Chain A
């Protein structure tokens, strides 16, 4: 598909122009963090960011979302509406690792038998514009170990790559091409393309943190009861920060909130790190301690997801590594498992 060039300083203006017409999620400075938020008038998007504090999964899978509404009737509580409409939107400037996560989440939410309309509607109506990492943002980045690359169009409808002074704009999908009019008329030449390839190669080589993500699969297949599981969780606080920030963690709770005669059924993020996650009404809990919960987290990402969907449920963004309050580093956990 077609490729164009835009001046680097034009990017914020393009995002703001789009935001006049539809919902644009863009990286914005919030105190010390960068977060993806709906871009409001007079707010500057910040594209020189490393990566956002939170994964942008909340665009498709909000932290809390109303699934349906209900009201009291003489016979009992009755459904009044389903809340699964999604307006057209653009997710502007996500990092390739996070765009990769959407492809992984699609596998779960958009299965043949059970389709999760809440996720799918938002996903279908949102155009994803990825922003290549021309330099690895953090020392904790390990995307190349989990089938990603710092310059990658996986999960993207449009890919932007800083080739020095200009962004190379690549329209990856027809959905992305529909936004071509916002990106000027300056067609990219072969030199721009070559420059991008060179940058992509360098960026890939610059990712120095590596984990044996594929190599541990056969080990995990056969070592559910290995003593190593008793050695990982010791300092874990069960705070759930890792799963909250993770771009691929998708576990959720469904609960009802009612006030007076009206109420809503909502879903909200939940976490396998929490003791109550699997606790049954009888009091029985199949995962009795943090040991089992940590095993579940590792197994889910590096074995169960591979068994079910043929893909590792980790994109190597390193958020869980950076934000864990006790420095429990999944890279080391995987490394240790690879040696048993």
Chain B
């Protein structure tokens, strides 16, 4: 039996600086012991505890898709002790990874439905995992239309720019990338995410909206989807809370009787309605 508190040893295989401000990077990890990769079998929407001995641990959503074999990726903003230490690491460094933790995007529920992905800023990471999962090979057939609405404050803050360009080329993805304010080189759309959602106006028929973003974006985006007729069962989001153990024991990430680490982080609005508003 694996002790759930002990991290798998991983090597920092690749570091990609995602944004102009250089404080958001994607870290690609390879498992030191190849057999650990199979144990780290995950589903989009789950998270891991990035573990740096001597500094501590930080819970971060998994940004890669399980269809990407041989590694696992996390996109991390430099913010506290652990993420700052992570940002100072170099390729080839040894560290630790725990998990996968939490529930996931409800893939079975999403199958056969039209999917609307709405992401804002840095909160696009586990949505990226979901998109890459849904468009991989035969997986694509299991889902209806896929509409992506993704926004950042400015072009320099968009994550996964190469991937966004690749996705734009596909005819089975309806891509809508927007920035609050463009710059001289920006040829794309300008406008806030809620406004773009209103313009794109995805149909509620057989549709599920998966929404992740800063609180202000969520606040103004939800009414748009209510107006479009989406039910609370069909609006799904992911919560963040301070966490330590990640397995529902240390007692700090509960919202009502639910632990965000173990029972979440993914909840539908219908489920959130039943919980207290303490998050």
Q: Closest Cβ of chain A: how far from B53's Cβ, in Å?
A: 4
Query: In the complex, A20 Cα to B241 Cα: how many Å?
Result: 48
Q: Are A115 and B4 touching (Cβ within 8 A)?
A: yes
Q: Closest Cβ of chain A: how far from B97's Cβ, in Å?
A: 12
Known pairs A79-B9, A280-B241, A292-B278; A251 contacts B251 (CB<8 A)? yes
Among A68, A256, A296, residue most surrounded by chain B Cβ atoms (within 10 Å): A256
Query: In the complex, A224 Cα to B256 Cα: how many Å?
Result: 9
Known pairs A256-B54, A278-B241; A76 contacts B250 (CB<8 A)? no
Contacts of A82 in B (CB 8 A): 3, 6
The 0/1 profile, CB within 8 Å of B marked 1, for residues 142-175 of chain A is 0000000000000000000000000000000000
Known pairs A78-B94, A254-B57; A277 contacts B252 (CB<8 A)? yes
Q: Closest Cβ of chain B: how far from A219's Cβ, in Å?
A: 15
B247, CB-defined interface residue at 8 Å:
yes
Q: Are B250 and A270 touching (Cβ within 8 A)?
A: yes
Q: Closest Cβ of chain B: how far from A301's Cβ, in Å?
A: 12
Query: At the interface, is chain B mostly helix, strand, loop or mixed?
Result: loop
Q: Which one, A129-137, A180-188, A199-207, A281-289, is touching chain B?
A: A281-289
B245, CB-defined interface residue at 8 Å:
yes
Q: Are B79 and A282 touching (Cβ within 8 A)?
A: yes
Q: Closest Cβ of chain B: how far from A156's Cβ, in Å?
A: 24
Q: Are B244 and A280 touching (Cβ within 8 A)?
A: no
A252, CB-defined interface residue at 8 Å:
yes
Query: In the complex, A307 Cα to B275 Cα: how many Å?
Result: 13
Q: Are A108 and B249 touching (Cβ within 8 A)?
A: yes
Query: At the interface, is chain A mostly helix, strand, loop or mixed?
Result: mixed
Contacts of B276 in A (CB 8 A): 224
Query: In the complex, A246 Cα to B144 Cα: how many Å?
Result: 53
The 0/1 profile, CB within 8 Å of B marked 1, for residues 215-254 of chain A is 0000000001000000000000000000000000011111
Query: In the complex, A82 Cα to B255 Cα: how many Å?
Result: 31
Q: Are B93 and A254 touching (Cβ within 8 A)?
A: no
Query: In the complex, A73 Cα to B56 Cα: how many Å?
Result: 17
Q: How large is the interface on B (under 10, 10 to 19, 20 to 34, 35 or more residues)?
A: 35 or more
Q: Are B242 and A254 touching (Cβ within 8 A)?
A: no
Known pairs A70-B54, A254-B56; A79 contacts B252 (CB<8 A)? no
Contacts of B256 in A (CB 8 A): 224, 299, 304, 307
Contacts of B240 in A (CB 8 A): 280
Give chain A's interface residues, CB within 8 Å of chain B. Answer: 67-68, 70, 73, 75-79, 82, 84, 108-109, 111, 113-118, 224, 250-256, 258, 263, 265, 270, 272, 277-282, 286-287, 292, 296, 299-300, 303-304, 307-308
Known contacts A77-B95, A224-B256, A254-B245; 6 further A-B pairs (Cβ under 8 A): A84-B3, A253-B250, A254-B250, A277-B252, A281-B242, A303-B257
Give chain B's interface residues, CB within 8 Å of chain A. Answer: 1, 3-7, 9, 11, 52-57, 79-80, 83, 89, 92-96, 240-242, 244-245, 247-257, 262, 276, 278-279
* A–B complex contacts, Cβ < 8 Å, 17 sampled: A67-B5, A76-B89, A76-B95, A79-B9, A111-B248, A114-B249, A224-B278, A251-B251, A251-B252, A253-B244, A254-B57, A256-B54, A270-B252, A278-B242, A281-B80, A286-B241, A307-B256
